Chains A and B, each alone.
Chain A
Amino acid sequence: MSAQLAAIFDPGFFTSQIVQVAATVSAFAAIVCGTVGVFTVIRGQSFAGEALGDISTTGGSGAFLVAVGPLWGFGVAAVAAAAVMELIGIQRPRGRDLATGIVLGAGLGLAALFLYLDSVNHSTTGATVSIVFGSMFTITSSAIPAVIAFSALAVCLVTALGRPLLLSSISPELAAARGIPVRFVGVAYLLALAIAIAIAAFTIGTILSTALLVGPAAIALRLTRSPARAIAAAAAIGIAATWLSILLAYDSYDWYHQSGKSWPVSFFVVTLIFLGYLLAGLPRRLRRQREIAPELPRG
């Protein structure tokens, strides 16, 4: 029994402080992203999430340039970008995507400049990869309080917005008719999104942060229709996916002999979430086929 366990959990998995920190941070990231992500999917703002994630590359590389913690860089850049998107403020979904794209393009332009300056000033090429793809195993325990504070802020914001946010996400017209300040709710929500993205970017890298934001929420919304249950399910799925990925990445150290290094955690997170999304779609597809099947001619 213990031999089998040892095969699954490589020696030192539970005692390793690096793993403990990674598990803690990713649990908070999963909870925040689950909460915020359900509304992102309902509102159809995946692109905004993706863009904020990419733009936080700008913040991360800028933070590297002036030598402050990357989490602060991610946070500042994401919040600033969210503000600009809101300023351009096109309300129709098509126009909104366009505004998002323009901000994203400009933000990435700055990221290109900062990363270039990073490599000139610090004579390193590793910065690009570690900012863009994240490196969960390099997070130090000193970052945990900031992560907790940011997470609490985002979750409180979404909870405080509560029902008005839900209503204005599903039907902006109805919400406006009921006297809900839709624009203000949108701004506050975008702020929560920016914070969630900053934490996710810190955990699994800037360009993969969307996976944690949109993935578990999309799976959860395929499984249940109730928003509260979807949030809980999304958080649980996020935690399961990240923890399993940490385990797999820890074990993967000796999978690929030529390299002798562990596979990136982000890769496992993304793959597990994508598989989960496909699996979660199966019941509905089967049901639809069963409904259609009797009508089909046999033979």
Chain B
Amino acid sequence: MFSGFMIHAWTVATIVAVVAGLVGFFVVLRGSAFVAHAIPNGSFAGAAAASLVGINTLVGFGVFALFGAVSISALGHRGRHDVATALTLVLMLGLGALFVTLSVDYTPEVYSLLFGEILGVSVSQLIPTAGLAFVCVTAIALLYRPLMLSSLLPDVAEARGIATARIDLAFLAVVALATTMTVPVVGTLLIFSLMIGAPAAARSFTDKPLNAIALSVVIALAVVWAAIALSYQTNYPVGFFVGTLSAACYTVGRAWAASRRNANSGRAINPPASRGEPATGRITLNA
């Protein structure tokens, strides 16, 4: 289980989990689950296009992922991405359907693109994955404060002169990058489940942003490692275990939050949902 080709799988999965846990935290915070689903899913068309014209699939992924991010950001207005995201997604998927049909030898690969093939990762995929992961983490570190503020309190951020629209586009670009590095090795499903499930579970346990991010990365790592081990033992697809384990983590998180709320409600009445900036000046996640 820890020899030969499996070493690559463990390495890549670890990198993917760290990035997914980090980027996913902001996805959940901003309520952009749909975008996080649409960009990885749609950019699979890029891989099909790349195989049709005979260039590196990673390039195809990157181009389509960035196109998706820009299109969603341009078509949606005032933070409402709903319909724009849906239409961008289906446009890209429609192109994907066309490319798959036109390229004769591509059909079996559709499954591995949608559901991942982490056990077939090669050394040549390791370096670009690590490089893009580094870029993602750096970008999030640089954007951290304005991103946090514009996610939690968009009005306050705008009043302080932060260009929320530009931050939004930058964040979508980071999601696109994270997608580009992860989808070719783990599939669109795995990355989406990790980006949503782990951070959502983490937020049930703590209100402090940095703790939540750390916990989100830890949960993502645990889910991925468990999924690979189970997949190795049972021969079932990795995506199945990642999808169900992520959902299970979320369920546990929700149950924990609910039980704590019940325990608290005996002592004090819950304060109403906070409006405006918290008086303490410290950002918590209970907005």
Task: Decide yes or no whether B64 CB sits under 8 A from chain A.
Answer: no
Q: Are the C-beta atoms of B89 and A210 separated by less than 8 Å?
A: yes
Chain A window 209-229, contacts with chain B (Cβ cutoff 8 Å), 1 for yes, 0 for no: 011001100100000000000
Known: A94-B31, A98-B33. A106 touches B86 (CB 8 A): no
Task: Say how far B84's CB is from chain A's closest CB, in angstroms.
Answer: 9
Stretch with Cβ within 8 A of B (4 or more), from A13-21, A112-120, A144-152? A112-120
Chain B 97-148 residues near chain A, CB threshold 8 A: 97-98, 100-102, 104, 107-108, 110-111, 114-116
For residue A259, which residues in chain B have a CB less than 8 angstroms away from its CB?
A: 101-102, 104
Chain B nearest CB from A117 CB (Å) reads 9
Tell me whether B34 and A267 are in contact (CB under 8 A): no
A69 within 8 A of B: no
Is A102 within 8 A of B95, CB to CB?
Answer: no
Residue A109 interfacial (CB < 8 Å): yes
Rounded to whole angstroms, the CA-CA distance of A41 and B115 in the bound complex is: 29
Q: Is the CB of A101 within 8 A of B196?
A: yes
- For the complex, give the distance between the alpha carbons of A129 and B250 in Å: 31
Nearest-CB distance from B116 to chain A (Å)? 8
Which of A104, A214, A256 is B87 in contact with, Cβ under 8 Å? Answer: A214
Asked if B208 is at the interface (CB within 8 A of a chain A CB), the reply is no
Let me know if B90 and A101 touch, CB within 8 A.
no
Give the interface segment out of B1-9, B171-179, B236-244: B236-244
Q: Which residues of A contact B61 (CB under 8 A)?
A: none
Chain A contacts of B115 at CB under 8 A?
A: 108, 111-112, 115-116
| Chain B residue with Cβ nearest A281 | B75
The chain A residue sitting closest to B246, CB to CB, is A105
A106-B102 in contact given A93-B31, A266-B94 (Cβ < 8 Å): no
Across-interface contacts of A205 in B (CB, < 8 A): 97
**Given A98-B200, A102-B247, A109-B244, are A49 and B86 neighbors across the interface (CB < 8 Å)?**
yes
Given contacts A110-B243, A112-B115, A112-B240, contact A125 B192 (CB under 8 A): no
Q: Decide yes or no whether B91 CB sits under 8 A from chain A.
A: yes
**In-complex Cβ contact of A215 among B31, B87, B200 (8 A):** B87
Interface contact A126-B243, CB-CB below 8 Å: no
Does B155 sit within 8 A of A, measured CB to CB? Answer: no
Whether A125 lies near B31 (C-beta < 8 A) is no
Does A100 interact with chain B (Cβ within 8 Å)? yes
Instruction: Contact check, A132 vs B110: say whether CB atoms are below 8 A apart.
Output: yes
B244 cross-chain contacts in A, Cβ below 8 A: 106, 109-110
Q: Is the CB of B240 within 8 A of A263?
A: no
Is B197 at the interface (CB under 8 A from chain A)? yes
Interface residues of A in 241-280 (CB under 8 A from B): 256, 259, 261, 263-264, 266-267, 269-271, 273-274, 277
Interface of A is mostly: helix
User: Are B93 and A270 interface neighbours, CB within 8 A?
Assistant: yes
Contacts of A218 in B (CB 8 A): 83, 87
The count of chain B contact residues (Cβ–Cβ below 8 Å) is 52
CB-based nearest A residue for B98: A267
Docked Cα-Cα span, A44 to B86, in Å, equals 11
Task: Give the interface centre of A105, A108, A119 by most chain B CB atoms within 10 Å.
Answer: A105
B146 to chain A, nearest CB (A): 20
CB contacts (< 8 Å) of B86 on chain A: these are 46-47, 49-50, 210-211, 214-215
CA distance A181 to B246 in the complex (A): 33
A129 touches B107 (CB 8 A): yes
- Asked if A47 and B33 sit within 8 Å, CB to CB, the answer is yes
Q: Are A44 and B80 interface neighbours, CB within 8 A?
A: yes
Choose among A102, A208, A264 the residue that contacts B250 (Cβ–Cβ < 8 A). A102
A10 vs chain B, min Cβ distance (A): 18
Given A218-B87, A271-B94, A264-B34 contact (CB < 8 Å):
no
Name which residue of chain A comes closest to B192, CB basis: A105
Complex contact B196–A125 (CB within 8 A) = no
Contact B101 A50 (CB under 8 A): no
Chain B 50-84 interface mask (CB, 8 Å, partner A; 1/0): 00000000000000000000000000000010110
Interface code A113-138, partner B: CB below 8 Å = 1, 0 otherwise?
A: 10110010000011011001100000
* Complex CA–CA separation, A41 to B84 (angstroms): 11
A130 to chain B: closest residue by CB = B107
CB distance A112 to B239 under 8 Å? Answer: yes
Contact across chains for B37 and A267 when beta carbons are under 8 A apart: no
Residue of A nearest to B201 (CB): A102
Bound Cα distance from A215 to B88, whole angstroms: 10
Instruction: For the complex formed, measure the closest distance between the CB of A264 and the CB atoms of chain B, giving whole angstroms.
Output: 5
Residues of B within 8 A of A (CB): 28, 31-34, 36-38, 41, 80, 82-83, 85-87, 89-91, 93-95, 97-98, 100-102, 104, 107-108, 110-111, 114-116, 189, 192-193, 196-197, 200, 236-237, 239-244, 246-247, 250, 254
Ranked nearest first, the 5 interchain pairs of A and B with the lowest CB-CB distance are: A109-B243, A270-B94, A94-B31, A105-B193, A106-B247
- Contacts A105-B192, A106-B243, A115-B115 known; list 6 others, CB within 8 Å: A101-B33, A105-B246, A108-B239, A110-B244, A116-B240, A125-B108
**A/B interface sample: 21 pairs, CB < 8 A:** A50-B34, A97-B34, A101-B192, A102-B197, A102-B250, A105-B247, A106-B246, A108-B192, A109-B243, A109-B246, A110-B240, A112-B115, A112-B243, A129-B107, A208-B97, A211-B94, A215-B86, A215-B87, A263-B101, A267-B94, A273-B90
